[in-house]
Amino acid sequence: MTPYVVSKGGIGQLTNVMAISLAPQGIRVNAIGPGTILTEMSRKTSMADPATREKVLSRTPLGRAGEPEEIASVAVFLATDDSSYITGQTIFPDGGRLGLNYTVPVV
The full set of domain ranges for the chain reads 2-100
Say which CATH topology domain 2-100 has. Answer: Rossmann fold (3.40.50)
Identify which of 94, 90, 93 has the alpha carbon closest to the alpha carbon of residue 31. 90
Residue 107 pLDDT > 80: no
Tell me the average pLDDT across 1-15. 87
Q: What is the CA radius of gyration of the chain?
A: 16
Residue 100 pLDDT > 80: yes
State pTM to two decimals: 0.85
**Annotated catalytic, 102?**
no
pLDDT of 102 reads: 62
Which is catalytic among the residues 3, 4, 13, 25?
4
For residue 59, the 8-state DSSP code is T
